[in-house]
Amino acid sequence: MKPMAFAARLLGSVVLVSTCAMAHAALAPPAPVPFDGGPLGPIEINIGADGFGYAMNNPPDGIKSDGVQLQNALIGVSTTTGVIRATVRVGAYSGLVLGYPPGSATPGGPNYIPFSALYAGYLSLVLNSHITISAGQLGTPEGFESAQDWNNYSMFHSEIAFVEPAQARGVNASGSYGRFNGVVQLDDGFYTKRVNYLQWLLTYVVSPTLSVTLNGASHLGTTGPNVTGIGNLLYNNSTLYGGWMTYTSGGFTVTPEIQYEYAGPVHRYAPQAELAGPAANFTSGVFADYAFGKSPYSLGGFVEYATETPSHRDGAGGDYFGYGAGTNLWGAAITPTWQYKSLFARTDLAFVHINKGVGGISTQFAAIAEVGLLY
């Protein structure tokens, strides 16, 4: 099993707290469907489904390089009033990472799912208009990109998202004060069921057109290989720091982002498993989207650069990206989008150049066409 990132932000719907950052969806979500929930009070429902066809050259490990598949089929239900509120989201989701065929960017192959069909389920205690506490299966507050490609400028996710966890079981507190919004979350990190991963995010809204966000995460204790999920010492014991800035002018929005992640030596479980020395990765990208006035068209995408530094005492200890320790890469994706009310269609043309730590250089082109419904 390769020590790849754990389907980062791919195997589930991240339920982002609304106070985290300025909206950055390329697709405009329709208003939720309300109905009377009787003793539960007003309830809102969201439904989304889409499928795509794809083709790419030079797939890793000879994985099939073209096909047609259902990508997302999700339904979300949430209560909207009262001090205690509930959110549930169920269905199927398959994400895309630049450089990998659909469904392959996981340590267990295309059938690996860290959780069940329940992709989010949590209760929230709304203390007042500024502070909310939630507990259950949650999305994570790391990174600019969402697990749902509907919320991103591109159908592909970058390496920044690839090295982050997507879902977690734990508790968080979100709040706002003036121009500041923030989230603090304690959870089980990379699907380990060990609640020792502390995440935080802080956004400052400088103006209606500019916001600045800082985020980070760190394990509060050593997590070993014998855990539910993926027993990867590298990810389970990593610390990351990052941030991004979002600027909007008319129909144009741009977001540069950087992130640094590292892990120190772990000898506690040797000789069965050991991270002999420190390892790290640096990921960066610029995301942008332009909406053509009141027309149904927009154009989004990103460029990225990522590099990793393996442990000098353990060459396999620094393989964050899954191509072999010491890999660096750069890539780009461009995504024309059409949306009319609940219907949408997108294409994505992408390129990535991978300088593998093991196995030489690989260049890949990919094309995707997606159609879907958000209701």
pLDDT tens string 174-222? 999 999 999 999 999 888 888 999 999 999 999 999 999 999 999 998 8
Query: Can you say whether residue 47 is alpha, beta or left, with left for phi > 0 and alpha for psi between -120 and 50 degrees?
Result: beta
pLDDT given for residue 249 in this prediction: 95
Of 56-60, 144-148, 277-281, 304-308, the one with minimum mean pLDDT is: 56-60
Residue type (1 letter), 303: V
Report whether pLDDT(96) > 50.
yes
CATH number at residue 359: 2.40.160.10
Of 83-92, 102-111, 145-154, 222-231, the one with minimum mean pLDDT is: 102-111
| Segment 35-80, tens digit of pLDDT | 888 888 899 999 989 999 999 888 766 666 888 888 888 899 999 8
| 304 in any annotated domain | yes
| 28 in any annotated domain | no
| Segment 232-269, tens digit of pLDDT | 888 889 999 999 999 999 999 999 999 999 998 888 88
pLDDT given for residue 159 in this prediction: 94
Cα separation, 303 vs 312, whole angstroms: 29
Report field, pTM of the whole predicted structure over 0.85 = yes
pLDDT given for residue 151 in this prediction: 86
| 140 in any annotated domain | yes
pLDDT given for residue 41 in this prediction: 85
Cα separation, 298 vs 26, whole angstroms: 7
pLDDT given for residue 116 in this prediction: 66
| 20 in any annotated domain | no
Which residues have a Cβ under 8 Å from the Cβ of 129 and sit 6 or more positions away? none
How big is the CA angle at 354 (ends 352 and 357), to the nearest 5 degrees? Answer: 165
State the total domains in the chain: 1
| Tokens of residue 289, six digits | 């989207």
| Helix, strand, coil content of the chain in percent (nearest 5) | 5, 55, 40
Q: Count of alpha carbons within 13 Å of 318, Cβ hemisphere only?
A: 25
| 194 in any annotated domain | yes
pLDDT given for residue 15 in this prediction: 35
pLDDT given for residue 14 in this prediction: 35
Report whether pLDDT(362) > 90.
no
| 44 in any annotated domain | yes
Tell which residue, 288, 280, 369, has the closest CA to residue 325.
280
Report whether pLDDT(270) > 50.
yes
- Between 369 and 315, where is the model more confident? 369
Quote the domain boundaries for residue 100.
33-374
* Start-to-end Cα distance in the chain: 38
pLDDT given for residue 314 in this prediction: 55
| 196 in any annotated domain | yes
CB 121 within 8 A of CB 89: yes
Of 23-27, 87-91, 145-149, 169-173, the one with minimum mean pLDDT is: 23-27
pLDDT given for residue 8 in this prediction: 34
Cα separation, 225 vs 38, whole angstroms: 46
φ, ψ for residue 245, nearest 5 deg: -130, 135
| 25 in any annotated domain | no
Report whether pLDDT(139) > 80.
yes
